[in-house]
Chains A and B, each alone.
Chain A
């Protein structure tokens, strides 16, 4: 599928205007980024209403914190993605809001492994991350993708992969070390 990839400078320019209290710039940013961020949040929180809540909070936070965004430190798109990911992960870990206490319950919510592997398959072949993930043993690759793409923790990844917790921790540890050595 062809993804619309906005140029990073556009997002940066919008955030600079938002920091000055420019509401139409926030509406433009929402038009540009909200659908992508809902897609990201949905793979983590698994419910449409919660993914929309994540994105709503993300844009309110962007409005309030745009003055903390420093274009010299990176792209606005990455800044916004990090806010949305943190919101989604916090919601997933917020036991008072969701029935996510139990690793088995969580692991059962939708096809997380399928989503994680689909994300990997959709990476462009020339992408360094895809190349380096490809060099990992299958279990290490799966464990890392489950945690990053769908937000699982060690215990939940172990339940999903039906593997002992210690083994999954070792897969992730060795996998992320090898991955960074390959990427650097």
Chain B
């Protein structure tokens, strides 16, 4: 390992990589077993520090909320966006890379031939909150529309919807781009916003139907990620 590689592993284990850097590093982890083994070794050594935390008994409400969450409708009766079955992590990453390549390739090709390509200004890979696996791709266009491509079967309990958000800047705060209630609603016409910028946050939360009552995210975050412009 070179010093640069060791420094990057260190930054990953200390959670110091920013969104796009982290996603790129995790894509490499999935395809490089030696790197994955090195990271896992360092992570395990650092977990000795986690074991020094003073245990704090959970209040009874915690287990009760877990039980309530488990009783949410099972997969069969929930609204599911059935883009594909659950795949192993490595296959997801391959699929994600292929999807991005295809999307960009088509945009580039059309642009070259007609000059009227509908090419996204920004693309964001939204990562799963729990394991940082890729969960969805957002393509943001200049006309405020957003195309969403889920990479996972999201389970939406009855009476709830998935709501898509972006954070144009800290002063504006999170802005809703729309909700996903059925499998057809994949392109969302968002409100009039400044053009999406590099590093802009996109996320999907679970909200009570027909959408967040406060106009701000209130429910758990399913996936989130940061925008980057396509390289072509």
B47 within 8 A of A: yes
Give chain B's interface residue range (CB within 8 Å of chain A): 35 or more
Residue in contact with A95 in the complex, picked from B1, B50, B65, B167, CB distance below 8 Å? B167
Interface of chain A: mostly helix, strand, loop or mixed: helix
Contact A5 B10 (CB under 8 A): no
Residues of A within 8 A of B113 (CB): none
A43 within 8 A of B: yes
A114 within 8 A of B: no
Contact A94 B53 (CB under 8 A): no
A72 within 8 A of B: no
Q: For chains A and B in complex, what number of residue pairs have CB atoms within 8 angstroms?
A: 162
B173 within 8 A of A: yes
Contact A83 B130 (CB under 8 A): yes
Measured CB to CB, the nearest residue on chain A to B65 is A56
Separation of A59 and B61 alpha carbons in the complex (Å): 13
Contact A177 B3 (CB under 8 A): yes
Separation of A1 and B220 alpha carbons in the complex (Å): 35
A116 CB to closest chain B CB (Å) equals: 9
Known: A30-B66, A56-B66, A176-B10. A78 touches B129 (CB 8 A): no
Contact A129 B7 (CB under 8 A): no
B168 within 8 A of A: no
Measured CB to CB, the nearest residue on chain B to A94 is B221
Known: A87-B130, A95-B167, A176-B10. A40 touches B50 (CB 8 A): yes
Residue in contact with A129 in the complex, picked from B14, B45, B165, B221, CB distance below 8 Å? B45
Measured CB to CB, the nearest residue on chain B to A79 is B131
Residue in contact with B131 in the complex, picked from A36, A86, A97, CB distance below 8 Å? A86
Residue in contact with A35 in the complex, picked from B56, B155, B220, CB distance below 8 Å? B56
Residue in contact with A176 in the complex, picked from B11, B52, B58, B131, CB distance below 8 Å? B11
Separation of A144 and B11 alpha carbons in the complex (Å): 10
Residue in contact with A23 in the complex, picked from B6, B70, B224, CB distance below 8 Å? B70
A154 within 8 A of B: yes
Contact A118 B14 (CB under 8 A): no
Residues of B within 8 A of A128 (CB): 45
Measured CB to CB, the nearest residue on chain A to B55 is A35
Segment at the B interface, from A105-113, A119-127, A158-166: A119-127
Known: A78-B43, A173-B7, A177-B6. A34 touches B58 (CB 8 A): yes
B45 CB to closest chain A CB (Å) equals: 5
Residue in contact with B130 in the complex, picked from A42, A61, A78, A172, CB distance below 8 Å? A61
A132 CB to closest chain B CB (Å) equals: 9
Separation of A176 and B170 alpha carbons in the complex (Å): 32
Known: A38-B58, A96-B217. A65 touches B131 (CB 8 A): yes
Known: A55-B62, A144-B14, A177-B7. A122 touches B52 (CB 8 A): yes
Measured CB to CB, the nearest residue on chain A to B53 is A39
Residue in contact with B15 in the complex, picked from A58, A95, A96, A147, CB distance below 8 Å? A147
B98 within 8 A of A: no
B109 within 8 A of A: no
Separation of A144 and B221 alpha carbons in the complex (Å): 28
Residue in contact with B174 in the complex, picked from A96, A123, A124, A145, CB distance below 8 Å? A96
Contact A172 B14 (CB under 8 A): yes
Separation of A82 and B9 alpha carbons in the complex (Å): 15
Residues of B within 8 A of A122 (CB): 52
Residue in contact with B16 in the complex, picked from A27, A39, A123, A172, CB distance below 8 Å? A172
Separation of A57 and B130 alpha carbons in the complex (Å): 9
Given contacts A39-B54, A55-B62, A145-B49, 15 further A-B contacts (CB under 8 A): A3-B51, A23-B70, A26-B70, A34-B57, A38-B57, A39-B55, A57-B220, A129-B48, A147-B15, A154-B16, A176-B10, A176-B14, A180-B42, A183-B45, A184-B41
